[in-house]
Amino acid sequence: MPTSQRVVNFIHANRKAFRFLVVFALTFAACYFVFGIVPGVRLGLIQPYTHFLASAVAAVINVFGAGATTIDSQVLSPRFSLSIAMGCDAVEASSLFLAGVLAFPTSWRARLIGFAFGIPLIHAINLARLVGLYYAGVYLPSVVEELHVYVAQTIVILLSTAILILWLDRFAVQHRQS
Amino acid sequence: MILYLALLPLWWYSLPALATVAGVTGDWIYGLFDPRVSINPDRRIVRVFVTAPAINDPQTTSSGLRLDTVTYGLPMLAALVLVTRADSILAKMRALVVGLGVMVVLTVPAVLAWAKLTSLEVDEKLAFGSGDRSSLLFYAFHGYAFSQPVVAVAIWLALMMLGLFKAKSRQKAPIVAVARNAPCPCGSGRKYKRCCGLVSP
């Protein structure tokens, strides 16, 4: 069989998988563009959200006596200060989850269930990550940058993927469209 | 997560080799379109040199791309593939090679995009006196670099959905013609013509 025919057969046999992957990639790119780049959305929605995140982080660490205050999206404390910038807002992890939920062929009821429990859970995990990074900055200041880039971000994405797989397993497959 | 942390040093020490592959390939491809630009690997950094034409004295501008910023999804992908259940070790290794191969290949366009950004910045400096990087290419490059864990997850999902963790189906046994009066191959003990070979009217 010629190679071109084998490629065509492979694509035809896996057309559902390719459809999922294309919709997934396009949805993720669209979400990333809208929430991460479009100035109106960034300044009108994401920036106020980062201010809220800074207040939430300060509230949590102040329970343990950090004595932190906030200015816009900065958390200032005598021992360590955080600036919640682009990428610390869980937009990327939420976009990943959103893209997975929208790309999988299932009912809108299952999708709404996914959004209702998945998105808040991802943002709660992100808040925990920021609190963790504050304490990493206090107790491990020499490696906080490496922890921030290579560990904390990866944990959030891995947990978002785990939530997506849980949703696929528990809800999406049961309501799968024929 | 533990596996990912264990793989991080391996990835870190493989960065010079990755920089060499991405730098040399990127230099060859970019050289076909714009000979002013040269791309050279330098340990874990890929350096881009742009020669800007001046009236008497050509000036060279350079910028460096840290390869860890565009490949840190590699150890995550490797960890995801290694913990995924596969039909056989061979299937898992095949998925690992294909996944990592795709991610390494994607590094080349990232290097090319960085070279193009550097080249555009030099051109804009020459034309307007300052370089503006707020282009779609700039956002696409940083989106790719910033979303390395997501790229790793997307490739992992693709590997699963394309069935790379499944063992290849064995070649089907050749169909052998069974004589009508021979014992049926299904093992019933009856003649083939009275069992599986029964032709309904």
Paired with A72 in beta bridges are none
Q: Is B154 on the interface with A (CB under 8 A)?
A: yes
What pLDDT, on a 0 to 100 scale, did the predictor assign at position B168?
Answer: 67
Could you say which residues of chain A have pLDDT below 70? 1, 176-178
B38 φ/ψ angles, rounded to the nearest 5 degrees:
-125, 145
B165 in Cβ contact with B86 (< 8 Å): yes
CA distance A108 to B51: 55
First-to-last CA distance in chain B? 64
Q: Is B1 on the interface with A (CB under 8 A)?
A: yes
Paired with B66 in beta bridges are B45
- In the structure, what pLDDT confidence band is assigned to residue B199 with cuts at 50, 70 and 90? low
User: How far B65 CA sits from the closest chain A CA (Å)?
Assistant: 16
CA distance A175 to A173: 5
* pLDDT above 60: residue B55: no
What pLDDT, on a 0 to 100 scale, did the predictor assign at position B53?
Answer: 67
What pLDDT, on a 0 to 100 scale, did the predictor assign at position B20?
Answer: 92
What pLDDT, on a 0 to 100 scale, did the predictor assign at position B169?
Answer: 58
B135 in Cβ contact with B113 (< 8 Å): no
Lowest mean pLDDT segment, chosen from B18-22, B91-95, B183-187: B183-187
Point out the residue among A14, A25, A154 whose CB comes nearest to the CB of B149. Answer: A154
B-chain residues near A150 (CB < 8 A): 8, 72
Q: Which residue in chain B has the smallest CA separation from A17?
A: B161
Summarised one tens digit per residue, pLDDT across range B138-196 is 877 887 887 888 888 888 888 888 888 887 655 555 556 778 888 887 777 788 888 77
User: How far B157 CA sits from the closest chain A CA (Å)?
Assistant: 8
Which pair of tokens denotes residue B181?
Answer: 């009066």
Angle at A88 between CA A85 and CA A90, to 5 degrees: 135
| Helix B89-128 vs helix B148-161: crossing angle, to nearest 10 | 140
A-chain residues near B157 (CB < 8 A): 20-21, 24, 100
ipTM of the complex: 0.72
Point out the residue among B8, B147, B163 whose CB comes nearest to the CB of A92. Answer: B147
E strand map for A65-135: 69-71, 74-76, 82-83
Query: For the sheet containing A69-71, what is the strand order?
Result: A69-71, A74-76, A82-83
A25 in Cβ contact with B154 (< 8 Å): yes
Q: Do A161 and B153 touch (CB under 8 A)?
A: yes
Q: Which residue in chain A has the smallest CA separation from B69?
A: A149
| More confidently predicted of B7 and A86 | B7
Summarised one tens digit per residue, pLDDT across range A50-70 is 889 999 999 999 888 878 888
A-chain residues near B150 (CB < 8 A): 28, 92, 95-96, 157
B72 φ/ψ angles, rounded to the nearest 5 degrees:
-75, 0
B52 in Cβ contact with B62 (< 8 Å): no
Question: Among B52, B50, B43, which Cα is nearest to B23's?
Answer: B43
B-chain residues near A149 (CB < 8 A): 72
Selected residues 53-92 of chain B with any CB under 8 Å from a CB in chain A: 72, 76
Summarised one tens digit per residue, pLDDT across range A2-19 is 777 777 887 787 787 888
Q: Which residues contact A149 (CB under 8 A, 6 or more apart)?
A: B72
Angle at B143 between CA A99 and CA B77, to 5 degrees: 65
DSSP chain B: -HHHHHHHHHHHHHHHHHHHHHHHHHHHHHHHH-TTEEEEEETTEEEEEEEE--SSS-EEEEEEEETHHHHTTHHHHHHHHHHS--SSHHHHHHHHHHHHHHHHHHHHHHHHHHHHHHHHHHHHHHHHSS----SHHHHHHHHHHHTHHHHHHHHHHHHHHTTTTSPPPPPPPPP----TTSBPTTSSSSBGGGTTTPPP-
